[in-house]
Amino acid sequence: MERENFGNRFGVLVAMAGSAIGLGNLWRFPYLVGSYGGAAFVFVYIFCVFLLCLPIFMSEVIVGRRSHANAYGAFKKLAPGTKWKWLGAVSVVTPIIVVSYYSVVGGWSVEYFFKALTLEFTAGATQAEMGTMFGRFISSVWAPITGHTIFLLLTAFIIIAGVKSGIEKFGKVMMPLLFVLIIFIAVRAATLPGAGEGLKYLFQPDFSKIDASVCAAALGQAFFSLSLGVGTILTYGSYVSRNENIIASSTYTATADFLFAMLASCAIMPAVFAFGLNPQEGPGLVFETLPFIFANMPLGWLVAILFFLALIVAALTSSISLYEVGVAYLVEERKFSRRGASVLVFLIAWVLGILCSLSFGPLSDLHIFGQTIFNFFDKLSANVLMPVGGLLLVIFVGWVMKKADVLDEMTNGGSLPGNRRISGFIYFLIRYICPLAVAAVFLSALIF
């Protein structure tokens, strides 16, 4: 059976950007900005994205395109007879873990979109009442499981359609729409009285706030947002044609991801400051603080509908890439049909997701290493599996693959003169700087 590829450069860009742009930008990035010092966190994040994580992103694309195989098969093909295939095995398991709890948050987005449509965010409601609404919802049994199921089914339907007809077509429509929606919301937030303090918080750094915890959080967010270390970019890289400029498309993706994260923060932080609220609200910022703001701002009902629609779209573009890793493995290594593979991944993620959802209610007293099931999956993937997976992958590209092969992928066989001039520097980052920096930040996070 002939293996599918993305159709053209725009298809590659929207698919890669879709993988990167997701809940990490709209849900996770703004509350981390609030929790870790505003612009100081943003400054460190920029460094992490473009000097450390972009070369790792390129490394994943290189492994994927060079092997033209799934996350497991890639290491079998490029390093046959070695133990590197176990990195491939971890790269298949990790995204299934991530998508299981990711789809729970995606389900929250579905629920809050319907709440916005039915005008449940009413003027005069207090922030505490919105927090109570959210707490009551996630601690219940059936409503969050229903949202989780709907979200996961949407992901599965797109995956079953295939690479070109499903993933690429969805990205081409939804990624431009996503940017339009978030720009509209950011402009509306900037017009609120007092919004300037929120923008100042985002763009005027206090460098004294930078410490090991900020660096670790920024690197972890960069990994999470760019979908590194979980096999998604590697798998998408395997669908990239030999004519595509890896350096350019990777840079465009990282830039789009960063810009969207900043747009999301510009949509949220000015509104938070305009209403005199605390930016350090943590994970509840989107589902507790924002509904209060929407309920009390002019045309807030419309902004709420658009925001939670954007949140669903962003979550779907990333969950699709996570889901595809397991499907590609089952189709190519275990000879499943695409439909059968999609159903199996759905069932695994659905069951694990139900356990994650129930950890906010009936299973809240069940702990793994002192963490609820949801928090355990989140910390295991974001703080351990992703950084370690990314570290091992960049070591593989820098020290196991032949340098000539890596440079060949970066320059398309020497046919890209501009890439030839910078490929040596990128290879130096991949071989020496990225492994040391990622290891140092990872260890500091464990120590501190």
- Take residue 367 and report the two structure tokens written for it: 């702990």
Query: Apex CA 109: angle with CA 107 and CA 111, to 5°?
Result: 70
**Looking at 45-54, 138-147, 221-230, 435-444, which range is the least confident one?**
435-444
Cβ atoms 267, 198 nearer than 8 A: no
pLDDT at position 448 over 60: no
DSSP string, 243-308: TS-HHHHHHHHHHHHHHHHHHHHHHHHHHHHHTT--S--GGGGTTTHHHHHHHHSTTHHHHHHHHH
Residue 271 to residue 199: CA distance in whole angstroms: 10
Reduce the DSSP state of residue 186 to 3 states and report it.
helix
Q: Average pLDDT over the chain, rounded to whole?
A: 90
3-state helix, strand, coil in the chain (%, to 5): 80, 0, 20
pLDDT at position 430 over 60: yes
User: Quick one: pLDDT band at residue 154, thresholds 50, 70, 90?
Assistant: very high
Sign of CA dihedral 241, 328, 317, 48: negative
Residue 328 to residue 316: CA distance in whole angstroms: 18
pLDDT given for residue 445 in this prediction: 62
pLDDT given for residue 399 in this prediction: 97
**Looking at 160-164, 304-308, 344-348, which range is the least confident one?**
160-164
Q: State the CB neighbour count (10 A cutoff) for residue 393.
A: 30
User: Quick one: pLDDT band at residue 208, thresholds 50, 70, 90?
Assistant: very high
Cβ atoms 317, 171 nearer than 8 A: yes
Reduce the DSSP state of residue 368 to 3 states and report it.
strand
pLDDT at position 92 over 90: yes
Q: pLDDT of 6-22, one tens digit each?
A: 877 777 788 887 888 88
pLDDT given for residue 2 in this prediction: 59
Euclidean distance between the first and the last CA atom of the chain, given in angstroms as a whole number: 50
- Take residue 145 and report the two structure tokens written for it: 């499981």
pLDDT at position 299 over 90: no
pLDDT given for residue 99 in this prediction: 95
Pairing state between β 371-372 and 367-368? antiparallel
The reply to whether CATH 1.10.4160 applies to domain 9-447 is yes
- What percentage of residues in the chain have a pLDDT greater than 70? 97
**Looking at 49-58, 192-201, 282-291, which range is the least confident one?**
282-291
Q: Which residue has the higher pLDDT, 263 or 24?
A: 263
Residue 4 to residue 331: CA distance in whole angstroms: 12
Q: Nearest-CA neighbor of 100 among 350, 313, 321? A: 350
Alpha carbon distances (Å) from 154 to 22, 104, 159, 248: 15, 13, 9, 31
Domain ranges of the chain: 9-447
pLDDT given for residue 134 in this prediction: 93
Q: Nearest-CA neighbor of 199 among 273, 308, 257? A: 273
Q: Give residue 302's identity as a one-letter amino acid code.
A: L
DSSP string, 292-343: HHHHHSTTHHHHHHHHHHHHHHHHHHHHHHHHHHHHHHHHHHS---HHHHHH
pLDDT given for residue 426 in this prediction: 97
Average pLDDT over residues 181-195: 91
Average pLDDT over residues 151-173: 88
Q: pLDDT of 96-109, one tens digit each?
A: 999 999 999 999 99
The position carrying tokens 């990128």 is 426
Contact residues for 331 (Cβ-Cβ < 8 A; gap 6+): 70, 337, 338, 341
Q: pLDDT of 322-349, one tens digit each?
A: 999 999 999 999 999 999 999 999 999 9
Chain centroid to Cα 13, Å, comes to 15
Alpha carbon distances (Å) from 396 to 57, 222, 271, 347, 417: 13, 20, 45, 32, 26
Cβ atoms 308, 133 nearer than 8 A: no
Average pLDDT over residues 204-222: 88
Cβ atoms 246, 408 nearer than 8 A: no
Q: What is the dihedral of CA 202, 207, 209, 214, to 10 degrees?
A: 80
Read off the DSSP letter of residue 4: P
- Take residue 16 and report the two structure tokens written for it: 């890669």
pLDDT given for residue 14 in this prediction: 82
Residue 301 to residue 49: CA distance in whole angstroms: 35
Cβ atoms 15, 164 nearer than 8 A: no
Q: pLDDT of 405-424, one tens digit each?
A: 999 999 999 999 999 999 99
Cβ atoms 235, 327 nearer than 8 A: no
pLDDT given for residue 16 in this prediction: 86
Cβ atoms 327, 135 nearer than 8 A: no
pLDDT given for residue 131 in this prediction: 86
